[in-house]
Chains A and B, each alone.
Chain A
Amino acid sequence: MAIASREFNELRLDEVSRKFGNLNALNGVNLTIRRGEFIALLGPSGCGKSTALNCLAGLLQLTSGSIWLDDKRIDLLRPEERSFGMVFQNYALFPHMNVRKNIGFGLKMKGETKANTERKIDEALALVRLGAQGEKLPGQLSGGQQQRVAIARAIAIEPPLVLMDEPLSNLDAKLRLEMRAEIRRIHTMLGATTIYVTHDQDEALSLADRIVVMSDGQVRQVGTPEELYARPSRADVAEFMGYRNLIRATASARPDGQMAIMVGGTPVTGHAINVVAGAPAVAAIRPDDLSPHPEGAIIATVESAEYRGRDFYGIAKMESGQELYFRSEDKVSQGETLKLGADPRRVLIYAETAA
């Protein structure tokens, strides 16, 4: 099954805004998505990512701005006129229809012939590997199977765009990994442009071609998973991408072109992203990169530590009272004082933003 019909080259969001009362759920979002891309909208809850998806589907009206599919304006169309396939967080399967009827619903609405409908239902069922479950009602299926039906239903109509709203958040950890691989596989097979909303950075990193990080209704950074993982452009994006340790201090220049911040009289060196010497700065370090080291600059006392197989992960308190997340290869115990350090290539230093 290939996405042959209604192809497009790019989907463009132009200054898209949506207000709920006084709340700006989406604030001037600009984004261009190319055909065949898998885009993840990533952000903490309340950042506007679901609002963006609903606006794309047509379930929410825009307050201002426009959405374009090539040179066709679509934000004024009703959802049924756009017919983008959408996978809902709670699956939203029709409880009174069996699996085949659920999948065939969109085709029936499009007025497909009966033979075509049956063929496409079979193809969709085979694609999500649910061949034998066609006659069951959604209530008789497990969560993972329901998820597959929801995906099959969305792609059966061969939509130009597939929208997924946190589709894995209702599944248990093991099933989530399985379905993640499954979604990736289906995307590779169909090549359908997919927009995937999630708050889980692992999901976004593993699935997406490009990640759009959002907060407060705005796009903060767009980039490939590698770019976002290694070089977040802002401190808040970094925090969301797993840089859990944010140390605030004044920046100072180093002779080797790197930047440093002073922590308790000792410099912590790192890679400067957008900061000038003498300005307030934030150093972002992943827990994995912060470890006990003989020349470590950060003195902290272990608050708690847990063994996670290979290494110990723990929380240590600096003199300032700030808590840091660190990793240690050797056993550490509560109350122990550590010298923590990080490879300067793994430390990112940002300008302190007002927010």
Chain B
Amino acid sequence: MNALTDTFEDGRRAASTQKRPLRMRLAQRGFDGVTLLMLPAVLFVILLFVYPFMYGLFLSFEPKKMATEGIFANYITFFNDPFLFDTIWKTLRLAVPVSILNVALSIPIAMRVRLMRRQRLLTTILVIPITLGTVLIAEGLLNYLGPQGWLNRTLITFHLIDGPIRLVHNYAGVFLSLLISGFPFTFLLTLSYVTGIDPSLEQAASTLGANARARFRYVILPLLAQGLAIAFCLTFVQMFSVFPSAVLLGEPAGSTRVISIAAYVAAFEEYDYSMASAIAMIMGFVQLLIVVLILASRHIFYRGPAGGAKG
């Protein structure tokens, strides 16, 4: 009798510990048919980002003067030649103020647009510059801001200025074009963060005696800070890789000789791909540095949801 029950129990235990099919075990760990849909994206990233990046990184350590100056020759040249090294500073001088100004401009506009009924219409108008592309904007600005452009002619006609003001082929031209082409992106991002703040929070603040300025300072801004940091980073990264407008509207040999121009010259005028790769790596590193700095400072901001808690 006892032996019989034992056998029965053993059989049951064996059945329950028997391995389930591989497919089910994988599914439990999150791998199933749907996981395969990620494959194209993974391939895409590997082929078009990881491989070229690694290729460039290794190429930058194979300088033309490797025999005499070692593998770091390109980097040594870059940091010792002011003509190359200064491009970092010149690019930052464009990208940082433009990004800050774009974020700063988009806050009040987004605050207003949030309350509008025809939001979609205005958003569409604001998005048009994105679809135009930087080159078209640069051409437009050349005509509009140039010495014979509408702006200068109008100002001269009304005797507001004696001679044309110089707004193209210098820092101002590139600055303006970056501002225009970058704004829609920054704005749309900021708008999404602004609309994410529960309007009842502002109403609550107002019933507690906070005027518009106090509501912005103590309620809106702290909840928005996180999003603004991200908006700044994404805008900055775009601005830092400025190329067409720096050439078309700027002074590519002088004040707007940005880092991407230096890379272009190394690659396609001096045919020194190794040097160009090194410049590209430095460019990437500077971008990364700024983004990491901004994101690291996020811990001082509130990071939770911007809603009125449980709803």
Interface residues of A (CB under 8 A from B): 57-59, 78-80, 82-86, 88, 90-96, 105-106, 109-110, 137-139, 141, 143, 146, 153-154, 157, 163, 170
**Residues from chain A with Cβ under 8 Å of B219 in the complex:** 94
- Choose among B204, B205, B214, B302 the residue that contacts A96 (Cβ–Cβ < 8 A): B302
- Choose among B207, B211, B218, B223 the residue that contacts A84 (Cβ–Cβ < 8 A): B207
**Contact: A170 with B311, CB < 8 Å?**
yes
Closest to A59 in B: B203
Closest to B301 in A: A96
Tell yes or no: B308 within 8 A of A by CB.
yes
Tell yes or no: B21 within 8 A of A by CB.
no
**Contact: B309 with A146, CB < 8 Å?**
yes
* Cα distance, A110 to B205, chains bound together (Å): 12
**Contact: B304 with A139, CB < 8 Å?**
yes
Q: A59-B203, A88-B203, A92-B201 are in contact. Are A109 and B308 (CB under 8 A)?
A: no
**Residues from chain A with Cβ under 8 Å of B129 in the complex:** none
* Cα distance, A109 to B206, chains bound together (Å): 10
What is the 8 Å Cβ interface bit string for chain B, positions 190-215, against chain A (1 contact, 0 not)? 00000000101101111111110010
* Cα distance, A59 to B200, chains bound together (Å): 10
- Choose among A58, A137, A157 the residue that contacts B304 (Cβ–Cβ < 8 A): A137
**Contact: B206 with A59, CB < 8 Å?**
yes
Closest 8 CB pairs of A and B: A96-B302, A106-B208, A109-B209, A92-B204, A92-B200, A79-B206, A92-B308, A86-B207
* Cα distance, A80 to B205, chains bound together (Å): 8
- Choose among A78, A95, A153, A154 the residue that contacts B305 (Cβ–Cβ < 8 A): A95
**Residues from chain A with Cβ under 8 Å of B223 in the complex:** 95-96
**Contact: B308 with A96, CB < 8 Å?**
no
- CB under 8 Å from chain A, chain B span 207-258: 207-211, 214, 218-219, 222-223
Interface centre among A58, A93, A96, A138 (most CB of B within 10 A): A96
Tell yes or no: B29 within 8 A of A by CB.
no
What 17 additional pairs, Cβ within 8 angstroms, besides A90-B198, A90-B200, A93-B308? A79-B207, A80-B207, A82-B207, A94-B204, A94-B219, A95-B306, A106-B208, A109-B208, A109-B214, A110-B209, A137-B304, A139-B304, A139-B305, A139-B309, A141-B309, A154-B207, A170-B310
Tell yes or no: B307 within 8 A of A by CB.
yes
Q: A79-B203, A143-B310 are in contact. Are A95 and B209 (CB under 8 A)?
A: no
Closest Cβ of chain A to B74, distance in Å, is: 47
Interface size class of B (residues with CB under 8 A): 20 to 34
- Choose among B200, B201, B206 the residue that contacts A78 (Cβ–Cβ < 8 A): B206
10 contacts between A and B (CB under 8 A): A58-B207, A80-B208, A83-B207, A88-B200, A88-B203, A91-B310, A92-B308, A95-B304, A109-B205, A170-B311
**Contact: B307 with A95, CB < 8 Å?**
yes
Closest Cβ of chain B to A115, distance in Å, is: 19
Interface centre among A80, A88, A92 (most CB of B within 10 A): A92
Closest to A156 in B: B208
**Contact: A88 with B204, CB < 8 Å?**
yes
Closest to B226 in A: A96
- CB under 8 Å from chain A, chain B span 271-311: 302, 304-311
Closest to A95 in B: B304
**Residues from chain B with Cβ under 8 Å of A86 in the complex:** 203-204, 207
**Contact: A96 with B310, CB < 8 Å?**
no
* Cα distance, A306 to B309, chains bound together (Å): 38
**Residues from chain A with Cβ under 8 Å of B306 in the complex:** 95
Q: A94-B201, A95-B302 are in contact. Are A109 and B210 (CB under 8 A)?
A: yes
**Residues from chain B with Cβ under 8 Å of A57 in the complex:** 203, 207
**Residues from chain B with Cβ under 8 Å of A94 in the complex:** 201, 204-205, 218-219
**Contact: B207 with A91, CB < 8 Å?**
no
- CB under 8 Å from chain A, chain B span 58-103: none
**Contact: A92 with B203, CB < 8 Å?**
yes
Q: A90-B309, A90-B310 are in contact. Are A59 and B207 (CB under 8 A)?
A: yes
Closest Cβ of chain A to B210, distance in Å, is: 5
**Contact: A85 with B311, CB < 8 Å?**
no
Closest Cβ of chain B to A75, distance in Å, is: 15
**Contact: B198 with A105, CB < 8 Å?**
no
**Contact: B209 with A80, CB < 8 Å?**
yes
Closest Cβ of chain A to B226, distance in Å, is: 10
* Cα distance, A84 to B305, chains bound together (Å): 27
**Contact: A91 with B208, CB < 8 Å?**
no
* Cα distance, A106 to B208, chains bound together (Å): 5
Closest to A147 in B: B310
Q: A88-B204, A93-B309, A96-B304 are in contact. Are A80 and B198 (CB under 8 A)?
A: no
**Residues from chain A with Cβ under 8 Å of B201 in the complex:** 92, 94-95
**Residues from chain B with Cβ under 8 Å of A91 in the complex:** 308-310
Interface centre among B200, B201, B209, B304 (most CB of A within 10 A): B209
* Cα distance, A144 to B200, chains bound together (Å): 19
**Residues from chain A with Cβ under 8 Å of B304 in the complex:** 95-96, 137, 139
Q: A88-B200, A96-B222, A96-B304 are in contact. Are A157 and B310 (CB under 8 A)?
A: no
**Contact: A90 with B308, CB < 8 Å?**
yes
**Residues from chain B with Cβ under 8 Å of A88 in the complex:** 200, 203-204, 308
**Contact: B218 with A80, CB < 8 Å?**
no
Closest to B203 in A: A59
**Contact: B302 with A157, CB < 8 Å?**
no
* Cα distance, A78 to B311, chains bound together (Å): 26
Closest to A57 in B: B207
What is the 8 Å Cβ interface bit string for chain B, positions 89-129, against chain A (1 contact, 0 not)? 00000000000000000000000000000000000000000
Closest to B214 in A: A109
Closest to B215 in A: A80
Closest Cβ of chain A to B203, distance in Å, is: 5
Closest to A106 in B: B208
**Contact: B209 with A83, CB < 8 Å?**
yes
Closest Cβ of chain A to B194, distance in Å, is: 15
Closest Cβ of chain B to A91, distance in Å, is: 6
- Choose among A105, A141, A146, A170 the residue that contacts B205 (Cβ–Cβ < 8 A): A105
* Cα distance, A105 to B202, chains bound together (Å): 12
